[in-house]
Amino acid sequence: MRTRRTAPGFSILEVLIGTALLAVVALAIFTAFAIGVRALALAGGMNAALGIGEQTLAALMAGRCRAPDDAPPPADPPGARYRREVAVVPRPEPGQWEITATVTWVQGQQRRSISLATLSYLPRVCEWVTP
């Protein structure tokens, strides 16, 4: 009786299946990595815009005995990546102002923006203080 001897190692079919599985897993990993990098860039842009918006609101609120619409908002340098727009609207209640700072920027091919709003109260005692 003769026994059939096979050569040690993998057949070509096993190698092809293993390579195909490796390609599918590698593609999934690289796609997840690319999505993570894009999300990180978006979070960085939003974080910077949020800081600029908070800085703008803080600058407008710094003079407590001055109406917020009297204070000029911080200017954007020419060619800046982020642009600020400020809206100061008096409220119906005396001495109250609604301040909205909107920061816009372009990230990739999309225009993005973030808006921050707050209420400012000009105390009645400020009527007696001269700026």
Q: Is the pLDDT of residue 2 over 70?
A: no
Taking only the tens place, the pLDDT of each residue in 53-94 is 998 888 877 766 666 666 666 677 777 789 988 888 888 887
- The reply to whether 1 falls in a domain is no
Q: Is the pLDDT of residue 103 over 60?
A: yes
- The reply to whether 101 falls in a domain is yes
Q: In which domain, by residue range, is 37 found?
A: 12-128
How many independent structural domains does the chain possess?
1
- Count how many residues are written for the chain: 131
- The reply to whether 6 falls in a domain is no
- The reply to whether 93 falls in a domain is yes
What pLDDT shows up at residue 19?
A: 96
In 3D space, the residue among 57, 52, 47 whose CA is nearest the CA of residue 82 turns out to be 52
C-alpha 114/C-alpha 101 separation (Å) is 8
pTM of the full predicted structure? 0.67
For 47, left (φ over 0), alpha (ψ -120 to 50), or beta?
A: alpha
